[in-house]
C-alpha cells in the first residue's frame, strides 16, 4: 500500500505519524467490490446487507464478533477456479485457509478436491463426505497415526516432505497392503515477494527437499530432491505421481511461478533421463493473493490458469517432455474474500493530533494476522451510513497486548460511537483457522448467509467449552 499524507480537512491532519494509510476515500459509505464479497451491499436505509440480510439482524441473532461468510460468493469462486483450469488440471482447495464440514460439502458439490495438512483436517474432510481419492495430505512432520489413517482411507496423494517420511509412508502402505500414490515436495530456491514467514520455497526453511545441493539453486536435480525420487522409485508400496512445489502466500507476481516451473521441469527431465520415467503431474501449489485493501490488485482465476498453463507447456516443450497434468491449491483466493468479521464498537480514545483508537469486542484472538504478519485490512461502518468527516483511526481489540491491532490505519466517520457495528472484509482465510483463546476469549462463530437465510456452520465457543477442557 502506498504511504502518503492525506489532504487537509480530515481530523488529525495536522500531525501524521508514519503509517500504512492512504488519502481518505471520497465517500466513507462506499464498499469497494475488490475487497467485499459479491452479495455485500449498502441498503437504502444506510446499513450493510449480505445475502439479502441486514448486518444489524445478524448481530442481534448471532452476536459479535462473528465471521460472516457469503456462501454464494464461496461457491462462485470454487466454480471460477474449476472452470478456469478445466478438465486437464486439478484444483485442490487448501483446507488450512478455513475448513468446516459445511465447507467440505460445498467443495464436493462444486467439484473441487481438498488439500489437508493435519489429522484434524483429514478427519473433518472424511466426516463430511469428501471422497478419499480427492484428498491430498500435506505436512512437514506427519505423525504415524496421520499417515496410517490417510493410507487406510485411500487418500489420492500424500505429499512427502523428508527422507524419513518416505520410509514411514512406504512401511505403512506395505503393512496395509496398499500402493500409496505420493508426490515429493521440493524447494526450488525462489524468494517469493511476500512476508518472510509465508515464503516457502527458499532452501533455509522447514518445508520440502532442495532441488540443489550445497545451498545453490542454480541446477535442478543435484540435491536431496533427486535422491528422494530415487528412493521412492525403488519402493513397491509407493507410486510416484508427480512433483510438488509451493513458493509462498499472498503473491501477485507470476515471475516466481515461472522460475519454479522451469526448475521442476528440470527435475522431471533428469528423472526421465536417469530412470526412464515421465511423471504425470506437476503441482505448483497455491499462494495467489487477494485484495485486502483497494490498493491490492490480484489476478482472476482464468488469468492465473492461462499463465500457469503457458509456463508449464513452454518449459516442457523446450525440454522435450510430454506436458504433465497441472494441479494448483488455492485456499486464500477462494475463502478469503467471501467473509467479513462483524464487530461492535466499545470505547473510543482520541489522541489529539495523532489518531483515534477504536476498540472493538474482538481482536488478535480472532485475527492474529495483523500482529503476526503486519497484514493490512480495510474496515467500514456497516450499521448505518454517515455524512461525518473522515477520522484517522486505529481499530484495536480488547486483549491485554499493545500489539492487539485489527486495522492499523483506516478512515472512519468522526461521529463513530459505542454500539456501532464495524466490518473488516477479506477475513475468510486464516482468521478463524488461526483463532485462539488468548485471555480466555471465546472464538467467534462462522455464520453462512445465502439467499436471505443465515445459519451457524461453526458455533460460538462458550465458557463451558473452556472449562470442560480444564480438568485440573
Those residues whose C-beta lies under 8 Å from the C-beta of residue 366, and which sit 6 or more positions away, are 65, 67, 341, 397, 431, 432, 435, 441, 443, 444
Element at 266 (helix H, strand E): helix 255-275
| pLDDT of the residue at 219 | 45
The residue count of the chain comes to: 472
CATH topology for the 41-70+337-463 domain:
Lyase, Ornithine Decarboxylase; Chain A, domain 1 (2.40.37)
Binding site members for substrate: 332, 369, 373, 401, 430
Please, are residues 236 and 180 in contact by the beta-carbon 8 Å criterion? no
Q: Is 275 exposed, middle or buried (0-12, 13-18, 19+ CB in 10 A)?
A: middle
- Counts of helices then strands in the chain (DSSP H, E): 12, 21
| pLDDT of the residue at 2 | 31
In the Cβ-directed half-sphere of 229, how many Cα atoms lie within 13 Å?
28
d(CA 273, CA 395): 58
d(CA 362, CA 461): 13
Closest to 153 measured CA to CA, from 184, 131, 182: 131
- CA dihedral (389, 394, 397, 398) in degrees, to 10, reads -80
Element at 49 (helix H, strand E): strand 48-50
- N-to-C CA span, the chain: 48
The ranges assigned to domains in the chain are: 41-70+337-463, 72-336
Closest to 432 measured CA to CA, from 64, 63, 35, 66: 66
Give tens-digit pLDDT for 173-231. 999 999 999 999 999 887 655 444 334 444 667 889 998 765 433 444 468 999 999 99
Count the Cβ atoms, other than its own, within 10 Å of residue 129.
11
CATH topology for the 72-336 domain:
TIM Barrel (3.20.20)
Give tens-digit pLDDT for 369-406. 999 999 999 999 999 999 999 999 999 999 999 999 99
Binding site members for pyridoxal 5'-phosphate: 287, 329-332, 430
Cell representation of residue 238: 509407493
Inter-residue long-range contacts of 3-12, CB under 8 Å, 24+ positions, other chains counted: 6/390, 6/392, 6/411, 9/389, 10/389, 10/390, 10/391, 10/392, 10/411, 11/356, 11/389, 11/390, 11/391, 11/392, 11/414, 12/351, 12/352, 12/353, 12/354, 12/355, 12/356, 12/391, 12/392
d(CA 100, CA 92): 15
Cell representation of residue 163: 527422507
Give tens-digit pLDDT for 443-470. 999 999 999 999 999 999 999 999 999 9
| pLDDT of the residue at 224 | 94
Please, are residues 421 and 56 in contact by the beta-carbon 8 Å criterion? yes
**Strand 238-245 relative to strand 380-381, pairing:** unpaired
**Secondary structure (3-state) at 346:** strand
Element at 238 (helix H, strand E): strand 238-245
d(CA 118, CA 126): 12
Closest to 433 measured CA to CA, from 335, 288, 330: 335
| pLDDT of the residue at 280 | 96
Those residues whose C-beta lies under 8 Å from the C-beta of residue 94, and which sit 6 or more positions away, are 115, 286, 329, 330, 331, 332
Q: Is residue 431 annotated as a catalytic residue, yes or no?
A: no
State the catalytic residue, choosing from 78, 117, 316, 400.
Answer: 400
Q: Per DSSP, which regions of 337-461 are E strands?
A: 339-351, 355-360, 380-381, 390-396, 405-413, 421-425, 446-450, 453-458
d(CA 433, CA 245): 23
**pTM of the shown model:** 0.92
d(CA 297, CA 305): 17
Cell representation of residue 366: 480472532
Share of the chain above pLDDT 70, in %: 90
Cell representation of residue 203: 532452501
**DSSP code per residue over 112-123:** -EEEE-SHHHHH
d(CA 58, CA 435): 21
d(CA 239, CA 223): 21
Binding site members: 287, 329-332, 369, 373, 401, 430
> Which phi and psi angles does 239 have, rounded to 5°?
-120, 110
pLDDT tens, position by position, for the chain (472 residues)? 332 333 334 554 444 445 555 678 889 999 999 999 999 999 999 999 999 999 999 999 999 999 999 999 999 999 999 999 999 899 999 999 999 999 999 999 999 999 999 999 999 999 999 999 999 999 999 999 999 999 999 999 999 999 999 999 999 999 999 999 999 999 988 765 544 433 444 466 788 999 876 543 344 446 899 999 999 999 999 999 999 998 888 888 888 888 888 999 999 999 999 999 999 999 999 888 999 999 999 999 999 999 999 999 999 999 999 999 999 999 999 999 999 999 999 999 999 989 999 999 999 999 999 999 999 999 999 999 999 999 999 999 999 999 999 999 999 999 999 999 999 999 999 999 999 999 999 999 999 999 999 999 999 999 999 999 999 9
Amino acid at each position: 500500500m502506498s504511504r502518503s499524507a492525506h489532504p487537509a480537512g480530515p481530523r488529525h491532519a495536522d500531525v501524521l505519524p508514519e503509517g500504512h494509510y492512504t488519502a481518505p476515500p471520497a465517500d466513507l459509505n462506499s464498499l469497494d467490490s475488490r475487497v467485499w464479497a459479491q452479495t455485500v451491499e449498502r441498503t437504502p436505509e444506510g446499513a450493510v446487507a449480505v445475502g439479502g440480510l441486514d448486518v444489524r439482524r445478524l448481530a442481534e441473532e448471532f452476536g459479535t464478533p462473528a465471521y460472516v461468510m457469503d456462501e454464494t460468493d464461496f461457491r462462485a469462486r470454487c466454480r471460477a477456479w474449476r472452470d478456469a483450469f478445466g478438465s486437464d488440471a486439478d484444483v485442490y482447495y487448501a483446507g488450512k485457509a478455513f475448513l468446516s464440514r459445511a465447507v467440505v460439502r460445498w467443495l464436493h458439490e462444486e467439484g473441487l478436491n481438498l488439500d489437508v495438512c493435519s489429522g484434524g483436517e483429514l478427519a473433518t474432510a472424511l466426516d463430511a463426505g469428501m471422497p478419499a481419492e480427492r484428498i491430498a495430505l500435506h505436512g512437514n512432520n506427519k505423525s504415524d497415526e496421520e499417515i496410517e489413517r490417510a493410507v487406510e482411507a485411500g487418500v489420492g496423494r500424500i505429499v512427502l516432505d523428508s527422507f524419513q517420511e518416505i520410509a514411514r509412508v512406504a512401511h505403512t502402505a506395505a503393512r496395509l497392503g496398499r500402493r500409496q500414490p505420493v508426490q515429493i515436495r521440493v524447494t526450488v530456491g525462489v524468494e517469493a515477494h511476500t512476508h518472510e514467514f509465508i515464503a516457502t520455497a527458499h532452501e533455509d526453511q522447514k518445508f520440502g527437499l532442495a532441488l540443489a545441493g550445497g545451498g545453490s539453486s542454480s541446477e535442478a536435480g543435484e540435491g536431496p530432491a533427486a535422491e528422494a525420487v530415487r528412493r521412492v522409485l525403488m519402493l513397491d508400496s509407493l507410486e510416484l505421481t508427480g512433483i510438488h512445489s509451493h513458493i509462498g502466500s499472498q503473491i501477485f507476481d507470476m515471475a516466481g511461478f515461472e522460475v519454479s516451473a522451469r526448475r521442476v521441469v528440470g527435475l522431471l527431465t533428469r528423472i526421465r533421463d536417469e530412470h526412464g520415467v515421465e511423471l504425470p503431474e506437476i503441482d505448483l501449489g497455491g499462494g495467489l493473493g487477494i485484495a485486502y485493501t483497494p490498493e491490492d490488485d490480484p489476478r482472476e482465476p482464468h488469468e492465473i490458469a492461462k499463465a500457469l498453463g503457458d509456463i508449464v507447456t513452454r518449459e516442457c516443450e523446450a525440454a522435450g517432455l510430454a506436458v504433465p497434468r497441472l494441479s494448483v491449491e488455492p485456499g486464500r483466493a477462494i475463502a478469503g474474500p467471501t467473509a467479513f468479521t462483524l464487530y461492535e464498537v466499545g470505547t473510543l480514545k482520541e489522541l489529539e493530533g495523532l489518531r483515534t483508537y477504536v476498540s472493538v469486542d474482538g481482536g488478535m484472538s480472532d485475527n492474529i494476522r495483523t500482529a503476526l504478519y503486519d497484514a493490512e485490512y480495510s474496515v467500514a461502518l456497516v450499521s448505518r451510513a454517515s455524512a461525518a468527516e473522515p477520522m484517522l483511526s486505529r481499530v484495536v481489540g480488547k486483549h491485554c497486548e499493545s500489539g492487539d491491532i485489527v486495522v492499523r490505519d483506516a478512515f472512519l466517520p468522526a461521529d463513530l460511537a459505542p454500539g456501532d457495528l464495524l466490518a473488516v472484509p477479506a477475513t475468510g482465510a486464516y482468521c478463524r483457522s488461526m483463532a485462539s483463546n488468548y485471555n480466555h476469549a471465546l472464538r467467534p462463530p462462522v455464520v453462512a448467509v445465502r439467499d436471505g437465510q443465515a445459519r451457524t456452520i461453526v458455533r460460538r465457543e462458550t465458557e463451558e467449552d473452556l472449562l470442560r477442557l480444564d480438568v485440573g
